[in-house]
Chains A and B, each alone.
Chain A
Amino acid sequence: MQDFKTAVKFFYHYLKPYKLFFFLSVILVIFATAMQVIAPLYMGKAISELANYAIELNKGVNDKSKFVHVVTLLGIFFFLSTCATFSYNWLLNRVTGYATNKMRISLFAKLQTLPIRFFDTHSDGDILSRFTSDIDNITNAMNEAMGSIMANIILFFAIIFMMFKESVPMALVTMSTVPISLLLITYFIKKHVTMLIYNKPKLAN
């Protein structure tokens, strides 16, 4: 827990300057997720409109306008969702780039201020690996974790919520196929969280 707190403090320090970006990307994530959840609903709607249209057609009425309207909306939702996803990816990528660069440079600057004794008690390889693998891992974790995991968790719960709203037995059936993805998700979360905590405290001192 202590580790976790220092980890949060560490990241907060480096990410503070980008608060606004973060705020913006959280809004974008929520917006994109909403679009992603709404779109399938409209897909269902489009298909039922299609069925309606087929039935009407049998009755001799040829009115496509409702169907076309729903399909157009569907297209617009998809498009907006793409724009939002792209924007938050782009924002987070910049934040990650700048933040890790600052970490790398302050790590180097910090080394310059440490007493010689530090270098005699820490192995070179250990110090060097900070510059390559550790910063690398943080970059990857931040890139992947912040965007996709955030979006996926929101999406996951939103979808479950929607499914239960639509039909309880259908939701249960679908959920029975989920263990794979669930397992994958927990695996990824675990991996990233431990990685972040693991990397951090050594850098902070």
Chain B
Amino acid sequence: MTILKNASKKFHVSIIFAVLAAALMVLATLWQPKLLQSIINAIMKQESNKIMGIGFWLITIAVIGLIAGVINTIMSAKVAQGMAAEIREAAFRKIQTFSFGNIEQFSSGNLVVRLTNDINQIQNLIMILLQSLVRIPLLFIGSFILAMVTIPQLWWVIILLVIIIGCITFFSFGVMGKHFKKIQRLIDKVNELAKENLMGIRVVKSFVQEKRQTQGFANTSDQLMHENILVGNVFSMLMPLFMLVANMAIVVSIYFAGDLVRANPYVVGAITSFTNYLMQIMMALIIGGMMSMMASRAVVSLGRIKEIMDTNPMLKYPDKPIQKLDGAVEFDNVSFVYPDETKPTLKNISFQVNPGERIGIVGATGSGKTTLAQLIPRIFDATKGIVKVGGVNVQDVNETSLRNAVAYVLQRPILFSGTIADNLRQGKRDANETEMKRASDIAQASEFIDTREQGFAAPVEERSSNFSGGQKQRLSITRGVIGNPSVLILDDSTSALDAKSEKLVKEALDKKMNHTTTFIISEKISSVINADRILVLDKGKLVGFGTHQELLANNSIYQEIYQTQKGKQEKGDQ
């Protein structure tokens, strides 16, 4: 509810207009049968002069009702859309504060569904609330009273009608709530599967997994269908059931009017308007019931948005002034366990690195190189122990200081659709052409940026499909070096480069970024052989730290890796 309240702040005036218009609409609706009644009387009595007068009023009121209805609809739509946009934005802003752990907890496809489908449900709810929340109770009370006044003897028919319809609504409300939740979850899953498939479409195709993927998708889709049909069945029963109850109420009241007629002949005339009001009562109840139906679906959605809003970012940054951090990096007895995992991925790691040093990190796939690197820019927090940058615990610096100090170039380069410049400015918001040029020179990206007519303004397509793997990596490195960080982490970032470009990148880094501490992560010793010192990881443990020569001389695991790679290298060279 607070979500709705916060989002409604800007729309108070429109909401008041919508509500007033709704009230006006009800008055018109309740007035119309009365006038209709007198016009019918006039027609019966052949009083044509009266017909014109009342007819005029009838049309006037109908027009007023119509205008009020249009105003109500326009205002409600405006408010609903506006509020939905506010909620979406708030949720999106919140998601931006999420750490990797949070996003893993929701899964990104699920977040997408929440931002689209769920917010649409909420938008519908707001619309319905504004259209009916005032109108329906007024209509209900109005026709209830008028029915009671018309034939008081039949009060029990009215009460019975209300109770039975109330019960049906309440019952189906309960049943539906559960299934709406299930449906929403299945929609999540459908979306997740579709998204996973899209992202991995190349893999799916190259491993000829199309059939299996489709089978898996079909299973989930079938489940969704069954739930949809189930809910639909309740719906398809509900409307006729309501009608039946109301119609039976009419039959019963006409039947009992037969008994009343003996004492009060006037009942014959009153029964028409009585049944009319019964119909109105029923309409009010049905719309009310439908509203609560929709509401129950929207409440599920509201809950799912609330979950986003209530999630605390797993990492919090302290409110401290910006500070300049130098390139010293220290791990003090650091262990790390991934969220939802039990076994530690990193165990008791300690080392110290001086500003400006070139550090290589080697180890087999899955040895924890990426995991270790992620702790430096605080993508995750260490489970145990302390990580320091520039001599300060990373948990004690504010976010901007840390982002400015540490640049992390991902193993798999991710570029956003937009222009090259847009992507580079993610590394430094106000980067100018000169800075971009300098950075792309270092990363050896200039050679292909220059060939594009628009230069830095050249477009980057979705999934950066207009760049090769090596070009993406070089752009990604450019983005990393552009802010001139104190610490630069290249996580296997040169894997798609040919040996010559890789060498050029390394040399440029040595020459132009010599004050920056650089971590170069690789499985290949050849990529780190020139580093000042090399960290050797094995199954989450730090098993060696020293220069290539030192490690080669007395580190058995390093020797082992070196021997196997040397063998391969020679074979490859032949």
Task: Kindly supply a per-residue 1/0 record for chain B positions 199-221, scoring 1 wherever the CB is within 8 Å of any chain A CB and 0 otherwise.
Answer: 10110110000110110011001
Which of B43, B198, B205, B236 contacts A127 (CB under 8 A)? B198
Which of B62, B201, B272 contacts A179 (CB under 8 A)? B62
The answer, yes or no, to whether B319 is at the interface (CB within 8 Å) is no
A101-B221, A170-B43 are known contacts. Are A43 and B244 too (CB-CB below 8 A)?
A: no
Do A120 and B463 touch across chains, with their CB atoms under 8 A apart?
yes
The answer, yes or no, to whether B40 is at the interface (CB within 8 Å) is yes
A43–B240 alpha-carbon span in the complex (Å): 19
The answer, yes or no, to whether B243 is at the interface (CB within 8 Å) is yes
Main secondary structure of the interface of A (DSSP, over half): helix
A28–B564 alpha-carbon span in the complex (Å): 77
A111-B197, A119-B198 are known contacts. Are A82 and B241 too (CB-CB below 8 A)?
A: yes
- In addition to A108-B214, A120-B465, 17 A-B residue pairs with Cβ atoms within 8 Å of each other are A50-B258, A78-B251, A81-B247, A86-B237, A98-B225, A112-B205, A120-B461, A120-B463, A131-B190, A132-B190, A136-B117, A143-B232, A167-B43, A169-B51, A173-B43, A174-B36, A180-B69
The answer, yes or no, to whether B250 is at the interface (CB within 8 Å) is yes
A–B complex contacts, Cβ < 8 Å, 18 sampled: A46-B254, A47-B272, A75-B251, A78-B251, A82-B247, A85-B240, A86-B240, A93-B229, A97-B228, A97-B229, A105-B221, A112-B213, A120-B462, A124-B463, A128-B191, A129-B116, A174-B36, A177-B62
A71–B62 alpha-carbon span in the complex (Å): 33
Do A50 and B257 touch across chains, with their CB atoms under 8 A apart?
yes
When distances are taken between beta carbons in the complex, the residues of chain B under 8 Å from A176 are 55, 58-59, 62
The smallest beta-carbon distance between A131 and chain B, in angstroms, is 5
The answer, yes or no, to whether A90 is at the interface (CB within 8 Å) is yes
When distances are taken between beta carbons in the complex, the residues of chain A under 8 Å from B222 are 101
The answer, yes or no, to whether B268 is at the interface (CB within 8 Å) is yes
The answer, yes or no, to whether B285 is at the interface (CB within 8 Å) is no
Number of A-B contacts (CB under 8 A): 186
Closest-by-CB residue of B relative to A58 is B265
The smallest beta-carbon distance between B248 and chain A, in angstroms, is 7
When distances are taken between beta carbons in the complex, the residues of chain A under 8 Å from B417 are 123
Closest-by-CB residue of B relative to A57 is B262
Closest-by-CB residue of A relative to B237 is A86
When distances are taken between beta carbons in the complex, the residues of chain A under 8 Å from B195 are 124, 128
Do B117 and A123 touch across chains, with their CB atoms under 8 A apart?
no
When distances are taken between beta carbons in the complex, the residues of chain B under 8 Å from A86 are 236-237, 240-241
The answer, yes or no, to whether B488 is at the interface (CB within 8 Å) is no
When distances are taken between beta carbons in the complex, the residues of chain A under 8 Å from B240 are 82-83, 85-86, 89
The smallest beta-carbon distance between A56 and chain B, in angstroms, is 10
The interface on chain A, measured as residues whose beta carbon lies within 8 A of the other chain's beta carbons, has a size of 65
When distances are taken between beta carbons in the complex, the residues of chain A under 8 Å from B265 are 54, 58
The answer, yes or no, to whether B194 is at the interface (CB within 8 Å) is yes
Do A57 and B261 touch across chains, with their CB atoms under 8 A apart?
yes
A71–B39 alpha-carbon span in the complex (Å): 27
Do A177 and B198 touch across chains, with their CB atoms under 8 A apart?
no
The answer, yes or no, to whether A205 is at the interface (CB within 8 Å) is no
Do A75 and B462 touch across chains, with their CB atoms under 8 A apart?
no
Main secondary structure of the interface of B (DSSP, over half): helix
Do A96 and B117 touch across chains, with their CB atoms under 8 A apart?
no
The answer, yes or no, to whether B333 is at the interface (CB within 8 Å) is no
The smallest beta-carbon distance between A175 and chain B, in angstroms, is 11
The answer, yes or no, to whether B113 is at the interface (CB within 8 Å) is yes
A101–B221 alpha-carbon span in the complex (Å): 6
The answer, yes or no, to whether A20 is at the interface (CB within 8 Å) is no
When distances are taken between beta carbons in the complex, the residues of chain B under 8 Å from A75 are 248, 251
Task: Kindly supply a per-residue 1/0 record for chain A positions 164-205, scoring 1 wherever the CB is within 8 Å of any chain B CB and 0 otherwise.
Answer: 000101100110110110010000000000000000000000
The answer, yes or no, to whether A14 is at the interface (CB within 8 Å) is no
Do B214 and A132 touch across chains, with their CB atoms under 8 A apart?
no
Closest-by-CB residue of B relative to A110 is B214
Q: Which of A65-108 contact B (CB under 8 A)?
A: 67-68, 71, 74-75, 78-79, 81-83, 85-86, 89-90, 92-94, 96-98, 100-101, 104-105, 108
When distances are taken between beta carbons in the complex, the residues of chain A under 8 Å from B204 are 112
When distances are taken between beta carbons in the complex, the residues of chain A under 8 Å from B65 are 180
The answer, yes or no, to whether A39 is at the interface (CB within 8 Å) is yes
Do A89 and B66 touch across chains, with their CB atoms under 8 A apart?
no
Closest-by-CB residue of A relative to B229 is A97
